């Protein structure tokens, strides 16, 4: 078990990185982020041990949660601090009532490029790509679905929100920390780069020309596929739908579309079955 460092003053500089995190996440500050809850903490520790460019830095716990976290704390790196505080102090630090009582500080150290990521992909590769995904819940759902159905990586354009945002990380149940990803370029430039790399670009839209289940037949000759989703409401830009193959999920005409989390799960499952991944 690590040594526990008691915090009695919310303004203690040792925990400044945890202060006022509701709307002031550490995303964008040299790759640092906040992981909230035991499930995400477990994923952070796994990624830290695996050396995937994710590192744990510090842990802040509600004092009455310590005994129940004994198994996780035994895996916590002994050279990293573990701070403990009362409910009143930890709430004052976080800036809201922290009912989970578990906050970890981590860092993503990655200078990856799209070319380098593609070079590491298997011959049969499945990518999930997002253009303009501005909702953190949706980004988290994308990563959770990508992990569930064996996608090799998630690619986001620069207009999409950062997956290391605390809420996106929590919704993904920590999958952001274990799934390779990049966030760069505008959507069309990103897709054009994948097209040049030999990927079949499948742009998901309610008005898509091809039903998603029929895409499996095309994959006999095109075994690298990038499934592309746009933001809810507006969907993908017309320039994307006109340039690349558009696909749809068959559904009742009583509803115009599915939410992004549901749609990405259904479409990924269809492709994963066609590729023999599930």
Query: pLDDT (tens digit, 9 = 90+) per residue, 233-273?
Result: 889 999 999 999 999 999 888 887 889 999 999 999 999 99
Judged on CB neighbours under 10 Å (0-12, 13-18, 19+), 2 is middle
Mean pLDDT of the region 141-149 = 98
Full-prediction pTM beyond 0.95?
no
Quick one: CA dihedral 179, 146, 248, 271, positive or negative? positive
Alpha-carbon dihedral sign for residues 13, 18, 21, 25: positive
- The top-level CATH class assigned to 4-108 is alpha beta
CA atoms within 13 A on the CB side of 272: 18
Determine the pLDDT at residue 130: 98
Close Cβ partners of 266 (under 8 Å, ≥ 6 residues apart): 212, 249, 258
Q: Are strands 200-204 and 224-230 parallel, antiparallel or unpaired?
A: parallel
- pLDDT bracket for residue 109 (50, 70, 90): confident
- Tell the CATH topology of 114-274: Alpha/beta knot (3.40.1280)
Q: Which residue intervals of the chain bear CATH 3.40.1280.10? A: 114-274
The DSSP symbol for 231 reads B
Give the CB-side neighbour count of residue 189, counting CA atoms within 13 A. 8
How confident is residue 27, by pLDDT bands cut at 50, 70 and 90? low
| Predicted pLDDT of residue 23 | 60
- Between CA 142 and CA 129 the distance in angstroms is 9
CATH 3.30.1330.30 residue ranges of the chain are 4-108
């Amino acid at each position: 078990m690590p040594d526990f460092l008691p915090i009695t003053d919310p303004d203690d500089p040792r925990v400044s990185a945890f202060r006022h995190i509701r709307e002031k996440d550490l995303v964008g500050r040299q790759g640092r982020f906040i992981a909230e809850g035991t499930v995400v903490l477990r994923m952070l520790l796994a990624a830290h041990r695996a050396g995937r460019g994710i590192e744990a830095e510090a842990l802040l716990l509600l004092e009455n949660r310590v005994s129940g976290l004994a198994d996780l704390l035994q895996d916590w790196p002994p050279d990293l601090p573990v701070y403990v505080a009362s409910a009143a102090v930890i709430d004052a630090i976080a800036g809201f009532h922290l009912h989970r009582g578990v906050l970890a500080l981590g860092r993503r150290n990655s200078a990856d490029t799209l070319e380098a990521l593609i070079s590491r992909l298997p011959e049969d590769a499945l990518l999930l790509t997002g253009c303009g995904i501005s909702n953190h819940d949706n980004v988290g759902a994308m990563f959770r679905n990508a992990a569930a159905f064996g996608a090799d990586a998630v690619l986001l354009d620069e207009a999409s929100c950062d997956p290391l945002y605390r809420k996106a990380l929590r919704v993904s149940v920590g999958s952001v920390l274990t799934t390779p990803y990049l966030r760069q370029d505008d959507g069309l430039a990103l897709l054009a780069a994948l097209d040049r790399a030999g990927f079949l670009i499948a742009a998901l839209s309610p008005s898509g020309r091809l039903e998603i289940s029929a895409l499996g037949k095309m994959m006999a000759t095109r075994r690298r596929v990038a499934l592309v989703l746009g933001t809810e409401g507006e969907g993908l830009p017309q320039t994307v739908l006109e340039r690349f193959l558009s696909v749809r999920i068959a559904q009742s005409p009583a509803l115009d579309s599915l939410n992004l989390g549901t749609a990405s799960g259904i479409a990924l499952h269809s492709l994963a079955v066609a590729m023999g991944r599930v």
